[in-house]
Each structure stands twice: as structure tokens, then as C-alpha cells.
Copies of this chain bind each other. A is one copy, B any other.
Amino acid sequence: MPSIEHIIAIDAMGGDNSPDKIIEGISLFLKEDKNIFFNIYGQADPVNNSLKKFGITSENNYKIINCETKIENKNSVRDAIKVGKDSSMWKAIESVKNNESDLIISSGNTGALLVISKLLIKMIEGVDKPAIAGLWPNFKGTSIFLDLGANIEFNEKNYLQFSKIGAELYKVIFDKSNPTLALLNVGSEEVKGHEELKTSFNKLVNQKNNFSFHGYIEGNEIKNGDVDIIITDGFTGNIALKTAEGTANYITNEIKNIFSNNLYGKFCYLVSYFLFKKIKKSLDPRKYNGGIFIGLNSPVIKSHGGADALAFYYSIKLSAKILRGNLIKRIKSNIENE
């Protein structure tokens, strides 16, 4: 019998190709780690079929909680709250509220997940609202970047609190004791940026932080890897992330086209086949799958709706890391010390 350390609630019905990709992601995880238990929320029949399909036979690591409905991506947040109480997402979040699970992962409707989580799990005392943090690859490793879109505007309190919380998140995920943190801005000089940024900058310079404050960085510096945690408001963060995704897509497509549009190109592609495999692996966005909702009384992990089984597996790995690192306890002790 495995010794269960933590219980993760899984919304098995969100995103494309569910529950298959969700269950396959769990099966990949269980091959290497049997100390996590899964409460699987979803329609029992398709979930059972998926479990069979992906060879999860022992019931040591899961139970199914049958939910007849699900929240669709096309549902407005208001509809999701009104009619979603029997859905897999709602029930999964509720299990965290009732201490039946330690954390929830969903590939479903982001807005609904955010609002229902806030409604049921509630904010950590002293924190106003949740933010969404994500992993961002760089030349030296991986940074944490937030807010990816939960808050269109940030005030000084948001900058300061999410800096604190982001730093604890980084420490837990990457086992580093004194990470560096920067605010994203349009220049590195103190006079740059809008008022909230400048007053936050001044506070961070003059107070004791749970990280090493690096000052401002610009968009092109995110990739350098000199900074572990990068803080920006949800409007800018969402646009920066999506612009980066679009740019990556554009460049890899240009290269793909040039290596496939005539015989010489195809020949070179064949010769370089193993290099392209390596490039694909090195740039694989699935490794960075998982938006982490922070500021709530429990971590909530949003897996990308279009992500596949491997990407979902990475979200589970990230979740296990967060639970084992006692993230919420660490955040609370930092917020209390304010």
C-alpha cells in the first residue's frame, strides 16, 4: 500500500478530449509517484472507461465522485455559478473547501474556476484577490511570472502582496532560499512607469522582503533568467504572455516552412531530424503548463484547456511539489508578518 501524503481533487471533465487526457495524465503521474491520492470528479461511465483504457486498475490511488453535469467553456461565469452546483468543477472545488482534498486541478473554464474558487475556498486573510502565476522558461532555467490575467489593474498593495506570495511560490517549486524578484516596466530607471509601480518600487527598496529585490526589468529581459520572479498587473501580464506565445509560434512556423517547401529543405530536415527532435523538446510548452491561482486558502491549478495528457501530467507534478512544500502555510506566515 502506498503511503498517501496528499489528496488532489481532479475536475475530469474540463478542456478538450476529457476525461481521456486527464486520466492518461494521472496514469503517467502514478507510474512514478504513488503517494498522491486523486478524488476524480466527473461522469462515472466515461471516467471508468478512461481508467480502463490507460491501465489504472488498483483503487489505491483514486476514487470517482459521479457528477452528472459539467461547466462548458462557452458558459458565462454567471451561468456557471447559477447552474453549475452539480458540475464536476464545482464539486471538486467544494471538496477542497470541505477539507476532503488539498488542492484542485481543472482544465475547464478559467473565469468560472477563478470565481467559484474564490467563492468557496475564500481568500487568505489579508489578501484582497487572487492572481494567476505561471512558469516562464529562460536562458538559465524557469521564472515565475504573474499576474497572467486575473486582475486588470494592480494597486500598490497588490504589487507588494503578490511579490511576497510569488516569492514563496518560487521557493517551494524550485527549492531556492533567496530568489530575486523584479517589477516589469518600460525602462529600468526609477522615474519610469506609472504611479502604482513607482510607489511599489520605493516600498520594495526600503522594506525587508522575503526575496532579493532586483528593481525593474523590461520585456526583453524576461528571457535572460537574471530574475526568478517577475511581477506585473494582469492586463500587461496576459498580453505579454500571449504575445510571447504568438511570437514563438510565428518563428517556429517560419522555420518549419523553410525546411519543408522544397526537396532540398526536406532533405536537410531528414539529415537534421534528431536536432529538430531536440529543439522540439527544449521548446516544449507542455513543461510549463499550469496557471497557479494564488492568494486563496488553497492552491488551485488551471491546466491549459487545449493541453494534452503529458501537459496535464506536468500540472499534477507541479501540484504535488506545491503541496509538499507547504505553500499555503508559508504564504500565511508571510502575510501575517505584514
Binding site for B on A (CB under 8 A): 137-139, 149, 152-153, 184-186, 193-194, 218-224, 232, 234-236, 238-255, 258-259, 264-265, 267-268, 271-272, 274-275, 278-279, 282-283
Q: Are A153 and B283 in contact (CB under 8 A)?
A: no
- Copies of this chain assembled into the complex: 2
Q: Are B240 and A223 in contact (CB under 8 A)?
A: no
- Chain B's nearest CB lies how many Å from the CB of A190? 12
Q: Are A248 and B246 in contact (CB under 8 A)?
A: no
Q: Are B275 and A259 in contact (CB under 8 A)?
A: yes
Q: Are A243 and B240 in contact (CB under 8 A)?
A: yes
List 12 additional contacts besides A220-B246, A247-B247, A258-B282; criterion CB under 8 Å. A137-B250, A138-B250, A152-B186, A219-B238, A219-B242, A219-B246, A221-B242, A240-B240, A243-B243, A251-B252, A251-B283, A264-B274
Query: Can you identify 11 A-B contacts, CB atoms within 8 angstroms?
Result: A137-B250, A139-B250, A219-B239, A220-B246, A240-B243, A247-B251, A254-B282, A258-B275, A264-B275, A268-B271, A271-B271
The verdict on A139 contacting B253 (CB below 8 Å), with A242-B218, A246-B220 known, is yes
**Which of B184, B242, B254, B278 is in CB contact (< 8 Å) with A220?**
B242
The chain B residue with its CB closest to the CB of A239 is B219
Residues of chain B within 8 A (CB-CB) of A240 are: 219, 239-240, 243
Q: Are B235 and A186 in contact (CB under 8 A)?
A: yes
**Which of B236, B268, B279, B282 is in CB contact (< 8 Å) with A272?**
B268
**Which of B222, B236, B272 is in CB contact (< 8 Å) with A246?**
B222
Residues of chain B within 8 A (CB-CB) of A234 are: 186
Q: Are A223 and B247 in contact (CB under 8 A)?
A: yes
Q: Are B245 and A219 in contact (CB under 8 A)?
A: yes
Residues of chain B within 8 A (CB-CB) of A149 are: 186
Residues of chain B within 8 A (CB-CB) of A258 are: 275, 278-279, 282
- Chain B's nearest CB lies how many Å from the CB of A252? 7
What is the bound-complex CA distance between A246 and B268, given in angstroms? 27
What is the bound-complex CA distance between A271 and B241, given in angstroms? 35
- Chain B's nearest CB lies how many Å from the CB of A91? 27
Among A194, A243, A267, residue most surrounded by chain B Cβ atoms (within 10 Å): A243
The chain B residue with its CB closest to the CB of A249 is B223
Residues of chain B within 8 A (CB-CB) of A243 are: 219-220, 222, 240, 243-244, 247
